[in-house]
Each structure stands twice: as structure tokens, then as C-alpha cells.
Structure 1
Amino acid sequence: MVGLIGPDGVGKSSLLSLISGARRIQEGRVEVLGGDMAERRHRAVVCPRIAYMPQGLGKNLYPTLSVEENLQFFARLFGHDAAERRRRINELTRATGLHPFLARPAGKLSGGMKQKLGLCCALIHDPDLLILDEPTTGVDPLARAQFWDLISHIRRQRPGMSVIVATAYMDEAQRFDWLVAMDAGMVLATGTPRNLLERTGAESLEAAFIRLLPEEKTRGHVAVAIPPLRTDEDDIAIEAQDLTMRFGDFVAVDHVSFRIRRGEIFGFLGSNGCGKTTTMKMLTGLLPASEGKAWLFGREVDPKDIGTRRRVGYMSQAFSLYGELTVRQNLVLHAQLFNVPKTDIPQRVDQMVERFGLAGVLDSLPESLPLGVRQRLSLA
């Protein structure tokens, strides 16, 4: 089991797509499962032996098909008969906690559930090489643990299966047999997790990676520090009382109440599908509550009141970007949507570009960007 580690945009996804046969090789040689991936005949033979789960929530899924239908479709692609399809689908969905949701459309699943379904679709046949591109980004800790437990279970059944994983989580990288640290399209170092720690004298893989970077990139680096909140207890920015959301007989949010002070960083913790996103949508007026009330800055949230909503910046789980517009055009459009004065827009865009490190991708389309860079653009 090999892990690729490094920040967004350093070439991990491009490397994985070359190994999987999903991207054309321009220079050099990529040899996978005993042959050259530049040769069409070899790709035709080995690609059915490769399972490739691309980066992004549910990227290998059909959103209008149910969990069951997605799995049936992939199982049929690999030639399983009805009885074998049923056995494999039951085994995979019970191991991932998806079995109660077989009838739910993939597009209606939470982010973590989409990732688990994507893995099930990738594993519905018996691959010799499993390629996972940041498979647990956006997945809660319990689901992440279940995800790796499932991989371990399958590897025990298929000890000859190799796994290549790109990950942003160093606790995951710690469990891999071999690591490849990358930056700027190049390999910084390879070795076991212990090798990299010993080589850098670091106590954690995160610190080890930073020490492997060129000096010009780490000069002036300091850890993030969040100052203590100094706000009056009664200076409330957001308040919710008995917020409830029902979808038919299903209760997604059940009488939730809280108060958030001005300037406070307030976090929702919970497993995927437990109601965090639905609560946020009710707070921002994107979804009318079935019961209860919410206030933003003293004004009751009204889905029809655009004035209150303009005071909120909402970064959704699914990217709220326009795929046909460039990075710069997305920033300008959002400034216009929120009534930023026309004369202020160029300066505001420049501020966001500098703050979020987007200068090198201003003329790129969002779909061409790495996941983490798209997230920075969404936040900007």
C-alpha cells in the first residue's frame, strides 16, 4: 500500500491518472501490471484489472441512479451474474453502512456516503490494482475508519492486490507501507513512514513533509494560531430555536437550538448524513424550516428576504461555482451578485486572489483545478 502525500496542485492526481490509463502519457514510461501503459493493447488487457476512484465526491457515480442501481450497473460491466451481483452488493453495502439506503439516489447522498458508494463501485470486481485519489476528503472520522477497515478486510481476502492512495490526512499516511512525498510535480522523498521521520528528525509526518520542502517555501512558516474570543455573552450573531426539518416521514433535523456569538468560530460535529448541512441551509434561508425559527443579526431568517441572505457567505458542500466561467469570472460574478460597488470589484478580486493564492490559475476553469484549489476559490 503506497501513499502519495503533498499539498494540492503538486501532481498527485495527474500521476494517478497516468498510472490508471485515464490520461495520455506525453513523455517517459509508465509500466503497470507488467506492461507499457502507452500501448493500446496492454491497456485493453489490464484496465479491467484496475479500479480507479477519481478525486471529488461521487465522481464515478451516476447521480440520478439509486445506490442499488449504481452498484448493479458497475457489477454488470464486469460480467457478474445476478446471484453474484446480489452477494457482492450486500457484502459491500453492509460493510460501509449503505445497506439501509439502497433505494436513495446517489445525488441525494451526503458527501461521505457518496465516497463510500464510489469505493463500493470500484471494488465490485476483484481488482489487482486499486487507485484511490483522496478518497476520504469530506468524510467524517467514523466513516473514514469504516472506509479503511473495509480496505483492510478486502486486502486480507486478496493479499496480492496493490493499493495506491493520494491523501491529505497524515494519520492515514502513517498506516501505509511506503510513502512518496511530492511537491511542484517532483518527488521530494520516498520511504516508509518511519524512514521519513528518521530522515527529517520530525515527530510527525506533517512536520517531516514541511522539513522536506525547499527552504524558500518554508521561510517564515508559522503554525496557525487562533486568538481567544473577546465578545460579550449577549452579542449574538446567530440564534436557532427548535429548528426542525422533515422530508416526508424522515426527520433530518430534530428541534435543534443554539446561539453563536459575534466573532465566534462555531463547529458542527457529526457523521455524514446527520443533519449538519440541512441545519446550515435553514440558517441561511436556502431551505424553509418545517418547525422552529432562526435569527441572523437580530432579524428572523426569511427565505424570501434576500437582504438578510446577502450578509451571509455560504460555502456549500457541493461547489457553488460556474464551470464555464474562469476563476476571475467567477470572482467578478459573485461580487456583482452581492452588490459590491462596480468601482470596488477589481480591488476586491485582487484581494481575494492574493489571500487565497489564486494568481496562477486566474484564467483556468474550475473543473481543471485540484480539489483543494477549487475549495479555496469557493471560499474566496
Structure 2
Amino acid sequence: MSESDKKDLALLAEGKTLDDAVVNVSNVTLKYKNTCALNDISIAIPPRCMVGLIGPDGVGKSSLLSLISGAHVIQEGLVYVLDGDMKDKSHRKNVCTRIAYMPQGLGKNLYPTLSVEENLQFFARLFGNDAAERRRRIDELTKSTGLYPFLSRPAGRLSGGMKQKVSLCSALIHDPDLLILDEPTTGVDPLSRAQFWQLINKIREQRPQMSVIVATAYMDEAQNFDWLVAMYGGKILETGTPQALLAKTGKDNLDDAFIQLMPEDAREGYEAVEIPPLNLNQDLQVAIEAKDLTKQFGDFIAVDHVNFSIKQGEIFGFLGSNGCGKSTTMKMLTGLLPISSGEA
């Protein structure tokens, strides 16, 4: 981050306004019928930074991002993005090629019947890349995200995490000045999440002028962002660097800091979750058992002779990268998928 950008963050910390904010939101209210998603919020978002919107589901993060991206009609208030009014149709048209927007949901911006290659070619053509540039960008992005071996696979047959990677590649197929990511790593395994942020950081190094706004539920991710916006109930609770929020609340982690920032009535009765260990000395019956459980889709083996047993009262976890067979195993155990061989 440049010294100029650090000064911008310092000004915001003092409650002052920015002349070069990438986004300026003033007195914005957004309602869905009788539900108020955003309640008279105002905020200036600093440029050339990684800004995180943090908070639980339903607090207004996605609604705010949709207004900033131009994907939703502005009902009340002003939204200025990249030096223009997003109510102005001509500005939205001119600025759309400078914004990359990855919506919430696994692969929501993809065509499921098209392959990874075809999806990326489609988005690259939308931004006018010639054949050589399309090839270079697609190869670079898919190799960085581990998708290169799956270029011919239809998007609809990808795991959730792989769909998110293709969605990111689609958003980054051009050179945006503003990258908007709505919970991009939800449902993505830790290794893929690390690769995701490595790719973002690499692109930021190549394009230091690019601003990034991210909505996330993962506080370990938010800890590494430059500036945070804590939201709850359609309002902004607090803004500042991760270190500033920790200092303000006197907490040593962002999870506890956010809880401390919540309204008192929302925190009433809150207690940290404690799970007692299972007493393995008890004579516990086996509740679920798998013997050589196998699932095959054509020539592809998704689950290969898996064996395990789960005792009554046990919390049993499936750990592994996206596409390793966790969901397929659960679907066979619950009868949602037929078993190719073995038994459960």
C-alpha cells in the first residue's frame, strides 16, 4: 500500500471524508417489500485497498455490493462509484467494463452446460479480448487456481469450490479498476481458499490501482484486509483497520471483536459454544457404517472403497479438498444417490 493510501485510511479513522474515494454512499436505504436491507447508511470506501464487509447473513452486505456494482436499482440516497452517479444510465454503461462483480452463490455467473473453457472464452469475448489474449489469460488464471486439468469439464459437473474458482476467473478475465467479491470463498476448502487469495494478491501487485471490496464470513480472511466495515441490521457498526477494531473492543480476535460491536440486545444470552468430548469408555453402538462404499460416474470414480463407522452421539467430520468425494459420500448415506458398490 502506498503512503498516499495509508494517509487515506488515517483520515477515515479520524472521521474525515475522502476526495478520491472509490465508492461514496450517502443516506442509502434499500427495502425488499417490508424488509429493510439497508437503513440510511453513509460510507466512503478508500481506493486501491482490500476492503472487507463483515457480518452474519442478512445484515445487508450483498445488498450494498449489488448497489455499488450497478446490479440493483437505487431506491433512496446516492451511490457514487468511480467518480460517477450510479443512478446515471450513461455512467453505468461507461463504467461497467471497469467493474468486475462476482455474485454470491456457487457458480451463479456460469453456464452449467458449457465447459470451463467455453465459459471463460465467453466472458473474455464480452470484454473484446482477441484469441491470443484470451488464451494467455485463460491459461494463466486456470493454472493459478488448479483448474487447468478441468478445462473440458462442464461447469455443472464441478464441485462447489471449483465453481467458485471458475467464477473468479470469469470476473478477472479483464483488467477491472474495481473488483467486487460477494462471499467468494464460502464452501471452498482451505487449500483452495489460500490459492484464491494468492491469486488476488498477485493481481493486485500487477495492478496496484485496482480496488477490491469483499464480503466475507471468515474473520481469518478479514484479518488480512486493509480496512473493514462491520455491518449488522442494515447499519454500519464500525469501520477501520483490523488492528483498530481489535483495539477499540479490547479483543484479541475479530470474531470476539464483532460480537462486542453488536447491539446489546443482540448479544443478550450469548455464550461461547463448548462441545464436550465423547466418552469413548461407554459401550456405544455403531449408528452408521460404510463398507467398501464406492460411487462411479461413467469412468470417473468419485468415492473409492471407503470404510468407516460412526458411533451414536459422535460428531464425525469429513475433511478434504473440494471434489474429493465428501458430498457424494453423504448423498449415498442419505439415499440421495444410488451406491455403485459396497454398502452403507
Q: Is the TM value for this pair above 0.5?
A: yes
| Residue in 2 that maps onto 1:278 | 328
> Comparing both structures, which one devotes a greater share of its residues to strand?
2
SS in 2 for 1:28: strand
SS in 1 for 2:195: helix
Q: CA-to-partner distance for each residue in 1:275-321, whole Å, 9 max, x for gaps?
A: 11111122122222222111xxxxxxxxxxxxxxxxxxxxxxxxxxx
Give the counterpart of 2:260 among 205, 211, 221.
211
**Alpha-carbon distance in structure 2 between the residues aligned to 1:178 and 1:247:** 45
Task: Give, in angstroms, the shift of residue 19 of structure 1.
Answer: 0.3
Unaligned runs of 5+ in 1: 295-380
**Alpha-carbon distance in structure 1 between the residues aligned to 2:90 and 2:149:** 41
**Alpha-carbon distance in structure 1 between the residues aligned to 2:144 and 2:305:** 31
The answer to whether 1:137 aligns with 2:189 is no
| Residue in 2 that maps onto 1:268 | 318
Task: Give, in angstroms, the shift of residue 23 of structure 1.
Answer: 0.6
The answer to whether 1:40 aligns with 2:111 is no
Give the counterpart of 1:184 among 226, 233, 239.
233
Q: CA-to-partner distance for each residue in 1:31-62, whole Å, 9 max, x for gaps?
A: 11111111001101001110000111111111
| Residue in 1 that maps onto 2:112 | 63
The answer to whether 1:287 aligns with 2:337 is yes
The answer to whether 1:49 aligns with 2:115 is no
| Residue in 1 that maps onto 2:153 | 104
Q: CA-to-partner distance for each residue in 1:127-151, whole Å, 9 max, x for gaps?
A: 0000000000000000000000000
Higher relative contact order (CA 8 A, sep 6+): 2
Unaligned runs of 5+ in 2: 1-49
**Alpha-carbon distance in structure 2 between the residues aligned to 1:115 and 1:4:** 19
Q: Is the 8 A contact 1:5 1:168 kept in 2?
A: yes
**Residues 233/280 of structure 1: CA separation in 2 closer, same or farther (3 Å cut):** farther
Q: Is the 8 A contact 1:140 1:270 kept in 2?
A: yes
Task: Give, in angstroms, the shift of residue 230 of structure 1.
Answer: 4.4
Worse-superposed segment, 281-290 or 38-47: 281-290
The alignment's TM-score, normalised by the length of structure 1, stands at 0.76
Q: Counterpart of 1:37 in structure 2: which amino acid? A: M
SS in 2 for 1:271: coil
**Alpha-carbon distance in structure 1 between the residues aligned to 2:60 and 2:283:** 47
- Give the paired residue count: 294
Q: CA-to-partner distance for each residue in 1:96-153, whole Å, 9 max, x for gaps?
A: 0011111111111101000000000000011000000000000000000000000001
The alignment's TM-score, normalised by the length of structure 2, stands at 0.84
Q: CA-to-partner distance for each residue in 1:233-276, whole Å, 9 max, x for gaps?
A: 55011100111122222221111100001121110000000011
Task: Give, in angstroms, the shift of residue 18 of structure 1.
Answer: 0.4
**Alpha-carbon distance in structure 2 between the residues aligned to 1:252 and 1:132:** 30
Give the counterpart of 2:175 among 109, 126, 131.
126
SS in 2 for 1:206: helix
Q: Which runs of 4+ in 1 moved over 3 A?
A: 230-234
**Alpha-carbon distance in structure 2 between the residues aligned to 1:249 and 1:274:** 16
Task: Give, in angstroms, the shift of residue 192 of structure 1.
Answer: 0.3
The answer to whether 1:25 aligns with 2:74 is yes
SS in 1 for 2:179: strand
| Residue in 1 that maps onto 2:292 | 242
Q: CA-to-partner distance for each residue in 1:315-343, whole Å, 9 max, x for gaps?
A: xxxxxxxxxxxxxxxxxxxxxxxxxxxxx
Q: Is the 8 A contact 1:7 1:168 kept in 2?
A: yes
The answer to whether 1:116 aligns with 2:165 is yes
| Residue in 2 that maps onto 1:6 | 55
Q: Is the 8 A contact 1:12 1:182 kept in 2?
A: yes
**Residues 69/202 of structure 1: CA separation in 2 closer, same or farther (3 Å cut):** same
SS in 2 for 1:35: coil
**Alpha-carbon distance in structure 2 between the residues aligned to 1:9 and 1:256:** 38
> Comparing both structures, which one devotes a greater share of its residues to helix?
1
**Alpha-carbon distance in structure 2 between the residues aligned to 1:227 and 1:156:** 45
Q: Is the 8 A contact 2:284 2:312 kept in 1?
A: no
Kindly, what percent of the aligned residue pairs are identical? 76
Q: Counterpart of 1:28 in structure 2: which amino acid? A: G
**Alpha-carbon distance in structure 1 between the residues aligned to 2:80 and 2:64:** 12
Task: Give, in angstroms, the shift of residue 28 of structure 1.
Answer: 1.2
SS in 2 for 1:113: helix
